[in-house]
Structure 1
Amino acid sequence: MPDADLSGVHCRLDELLTERGITLTRLSEMVGVSLVNLSVLKNDRARAIRFSTLTAVCRALRCDIGELLVLTPTPGGQP
């Protein structure tokens, strides 16, 4: 989680895709977001995300925003 350490946010897209048996390519087709942009999000390299993308991904994966984006713990144990 390279950038998640800096931002304090981890994107669980990879885990959610695996749980649902959906490929990143299929998700890209479902939500109309490029494979490259979803890959950036999946690999915790995104610096921002449009609300429309966030909404589309959550609807396609049938998840809440809090299931997709989570705070990473700080060294002191606080989120």
Structure 2
Amino acid sequence: MAIVVQLDRLLLDRRMSLTELSDRVGVTIANLSVLKTGKARAVRFSTLDALCRELNCQPGELMVQAPGPQPGGEQGEG
């Protein structure tokens, strides 16, 4: 299973640009782009809280678990 960030969909639904979100949450556009493209390896709770506050969403709307391999070819323990 892989975690998928649905930032594009939320931005589109809210008619908000990545630049506007960056200004509102105090996270650089570069860091938001890493998150948006699924290349982020971690997210601080403070960042997640700020994103959810500005996008008026719950964490489960921003990130979902989807079938498929994990990024980087990592395998879960089992």
- Answer yes or no: same fold by TM over 0.5: yes
Match of 2:10?
16
TM-score normalised by structure 1 residue count: 0.83
Letter in 2 for 1:19: D
Q: Does 1:60 align with 2:54?
A: yes
For the aligned residue pairs, the C-alpha RMSD in angstroms reads 1.4
Distance 2:40 2:21 in 1: 17
Identity of aligned residues (%): 54
Q: 1:18-71: per-residue Cα shift (whole Å, max 9, x none)?
A: 010000000000000011000000111100000000000000000000000000
Between the two proteins, the alignment pairs up a number of residues equal to 69
Q: What residue ranges of structure 1 are gaps of 5+ in the alignment?
A: 1-6
TM-score normalised by structure 2 residue count: 0.84
- 2:38 aligned counterpart, secondary structure: coil
Distance 2:8 2:46 in 1: 19
Ranges of 4+ aligned residues in structure 1 off by more than 6 Å: none
Q: What residue ranges of structure 2 are gaps of 5+ in the alignment?
A: 70-78
Distance 1:72 1:42 in 2: 15
Distance 1:29 1:74 in 2: 33
